[in-house]
Amino acid sequence: MSLLKTIDTNPSFAPRESVAHPDRLISGDPSFKTWAQDVARGEMIHTGVWEATPGETRSIKGETFEFCHILSGVVELSPEGGAPVVYKAGDSFVMKPGFVGVWKTIETVRKIYVTVM
């Protein structure tokens, strides 16, 4: 197994498709696609590409650390008790463990993600 992993931003394999959990849905009818591409350290680290259609959901990280790099689209993140921040193609950010807020997909977004549990 190679210790170097290239992330394919336009994967040719079928994604795992899902919708917002009813407890987290705020508005719209967002759908999600996940192209999981790597798992490491006994399932603690996950890497891949994720896509969401417009809508608003509650984002709750719990004990998970997540790095995101936006490939396309526009999102607005509003941390609980904080000001909204807009991210677009080319932007990167981290949601640290304990993050709670609103994830609003303004234009269909595709991102590279790395989660660490």
pLDDT, position 3: 87
Query: How crowded is residue 84: how many other Cβ atoms within 10 Å of its Cβ?
Result: 11
Q: Which amino acid, one-letter code, is at 11?
A: P
Q: Is the dihedral of CA 89, 5, 48, 7 positive or negative?
A: positive
d(CA 109, CA 81): 24
Which pair of structure tokens corresponds to residue 80? Answer: 């609980």
Per-residue pLDDT tens, the chain, 117 aa: give them: 688 999 999 999 999 999 999 999 999 999 999 999 999 999 999 999 999 999 999 999 999 999 999 999 999 999 999 999 999 999 999 999 999 999 999 999 999 999 999
pLDDT at 1: 62
- R_g of the chain computed on alpha carbons: 14
